[in-house]
Amino acid sequence: MLSQSASNLGLSKVYGAFINNEFQPVRGAVFPAVAAATGMHLAEIARCGPQEVEAAVLAAERAFPAWSALPPEERASYLHKLADAIERNATRFTTIDTLDIGRGLWETGIDHAIAVSQYRYFAAAIITHEGFGRPIPDGYLVAKREPYGVCGQIIPWNVPAIMASFKIAPAVAAGNTVVLKPDENASLSTLELCKLIAEIFPPGVINVVPGMGEEAGAALTAHPRVAKLAFTGSSDVGRIVSAAGAHRLVPVSLELGGKSPNIIFPDIETADIDAIVDNVTFASMYCNGQSCLAGTRLFIHDAIYDDFMAKLIASMRRIRVADPASEGPLLGCVVSARQGQRVQAYIDIGREQASLATGGARVNVAGCDAGWFFEPTVFETANDSRLAQEEIFGPVLSVIRWNDYERMIHDANNVRYGLAAGIYTTNLKHAMATADRLQAGNIWINSYFNLASGSPFGGFKESGIGSEYCHETLNMYTHLKAVTIQTQVKPAWYSPLS
């Protein structure tokens, strides 16, 4: 049982806002951090609001001049030190996240490895984040990159370690300072990260204000001294953040929802089907299905449909639904009762409007009575169904049969989102032509979730604005300033003396 080791994790009993490298005394309301699977009380967390946000923004504003003045090499050294510290604490952080959000240890371990790679990637990338220049008549044009200042950032609960790194690493690498709000369902590992930050970074560079979106989040997005906003979460909340940025005319980057197509062509070799089935299973069930980029719409060609479906159902039934503390690949619980009820509602809709191929039941796991565990669930449906159109954020896969290429392309693109897509084929022409026509920011051919540091991650349509995970991200956190230099003042011509 994971709860047996919780007392050994060194969690604080109470966490206040992290401002100026110190946890602030908690004088107002708090909310509990509760283990998703067991319901065990883990800590009390300050329910921050405008007062804490104000203090955090002012601290970040004070820290900005000195931090932004550091050479990129020095800022990079801080990020490398943080990456090293996370790596040393990886086992502990992995356990904290599994406890907090209900995902298996095998997954949260991957999360922290990705987070470490992000800090190291942007430590390297900032060294080569250059402007440009060119000669002009009797002079030279210099275009240089400058940080915005205080960045307000809001992250979700599904992969807190990755999300924190996606926001913090490029922002501070570029010379900005940060006020970050973690999700109220997954604040613990971010607040524990603050203890490492306090040992490494100058005060005020990175500040964290936990709390509710309508309180701390709203105060952060509306603050007049926040110069840049970044948000990851639902498209509906993304609209609210975007509107707040538009009201103050500050730049906003958004990474939002998805309903990604995963397309199986009939030319796949028989020997490859088992591996492809495994990858398709992973694409839809990883993160307990709580992933914006999950391959939740599977398009299988009619010529191989029956064989593929039989193997897919067998693959889903082999997945262990278990205590998240168990070793190896497994399906844990969704993050909260509220999310569990949402997933259950969609399964009920599927039972009425689609054909259930496998799964669909809630599972009882010994010692995890508070957790909302579900069987891996697969429905055969049409692309215009609610199951195929709406983001469920749970272990539910919609399968759609296809035999007409043009119709399949239309259906694959016929959703409000455009974050990711997968393609499985041995035909290079099919792969590249289809990738060109899919309306998504990330196309993975023959291996879903094929993310590598430096690969742009961002969406089309309602999946967001801007790209993370890559060198281009540094441009989202900097102004471009032009400076022109003339070697001499030109002769008078506007109001000459004679």
Across the range 148-154, mean pLDDT stands at 98
Domain spanning 3-256+463-482 has what CATH number?
A: 3.40.605.10
DSSP SS3 for 307 = helix
pLDDT digits (tens, 9 = 90+) for 187-200: 999 999 999 999 99
**Which has the higher per-residue pLDDT, 461 or 3?**
461
Mean pLDDT of 348-356: 97
Q: Quick one: pLDDT band at residue 269, thresholds 50, 70, 90? A: confident
Closest by CA position to 194, among listed 176, 177, 207: 207
- Asked whether the predicted pLDDT for residue 62 surpasses 50, the reply is yes
Q: In this predicted model, what pLDDT tens digit does every residue of 4-46 receive, in sequence order?
A: 455 689 999 999 999 999 999 999 999 999 999 999 999 999 9
Q: CA 11, 231, 389 angle in degrees (round to 5)?
A: 110
Q: Which residues, listed in sequence order, are joined to residue 23 by a DSSP beta bridge?
A: 18
Asked if residue 114 lies in contact with residue 286, where contact means CB atoms within 8 angstroms, the answer is no
Q: Is 292 a catalytic residue?
A: yes
Which residue among 255, 375, 462, 468 is the active-site one? 255
Q: Classify domain 261-445 at the CATH topology level.
A: Aldehyde Dehydrogenase; Chain A, domain 2 (3.40.309)
Residues with Cβ within 8 Å of 287's Cβ and at least 6 positions away in sequence, in order, are 103, 107, 158, 159, 294
Q: Which of 53, 72, 55 is nearest to 211 (CA)?
A: 53
The mean pLDDT of 332-357, rounded to a whole number, is 98
pLDDT tens digit string along 281-335? Answer: 999 999 999 999 999 999 999 999 999 999 999 999 999 999 999 999 999 999 9
Domain ranges of the chain: 3-256+463-482, 261-445
CA atoms within 13 A on the CB side of 365: 26
Tell me the pTM. Answer: 0.96
Distances (CA, A) of 365 to 132, 147, 394: 58, 49, 17
Instruction: Give the pLDDT confidence of 473-491 residue by residue, as tens digits.
Output: 999 999 999 999 999 998 8
Per-residue pLDDT, 452: 85
Q: What percent of the chain has pLDDT over 90?
A: 94
- Does the pLDDT of residue 348 top 50, yes or no? yes
pLDDT at 6: 59
Does residue 236 have a pLDDT over 70? yes
Above 70 in pLDDT, residue 495? yes
> pLDDT at residue 227 above 80?
yes
Mean pLDDT taken over the chain? 96
Pairing of strands 30-34, 41-46: antiparallel
Indicate if 255 belongs to the active site. Answer: yes
Task: Tell me what pLDDT residue 496 has.
Answer: 86
Of residues 98 and 494, which shows the higher confidence score?
Answer: 98
Residue 352 pLDDT > 90: yes
Please measure the distance between the N-terminal and C-terminal CA atoms of the chain and give it in whole angstroms. Answer: 92
For 174-228, the DSSP string reads TT-EEEEE--TTS-HHHHHHHHHHHHHSPTTSEEE--S-IIIIIHHHHH-TT--E
Least confident of 52-61, 347-356, 489-498: 489-498
Mean pLDDT on 156-174: 98
Q: Are 329 and 104 in contact (CB under 8 A)?
A: yes
pLDDT for res 4: 45
Of 135-144, 170-179, 387-396, where does mean pLDDT reach its minimum? 135-144
Tokens of 123: 């430590």
- pLDDT given for residue 7 in this prediction: 65
Check whether 249 has a pLDDT greater than 90.
Answer: yes
Place of tokens 């619980």: 333
Which residues lie across from 451 on neighbouring strands?
none
Catalytic residue among 292, 333, 368, 470: 292
Considering the chain, what percentage of its residues have pLDDT values greater than 70? 98
Strands 252-255 and 464-465, bridge-based pairing: antiparallel
**Average pLDDT of span 78-89:** 98
Q: How many Cα atoms sit within 13 Å of 235 on the Cβ side? A: 19
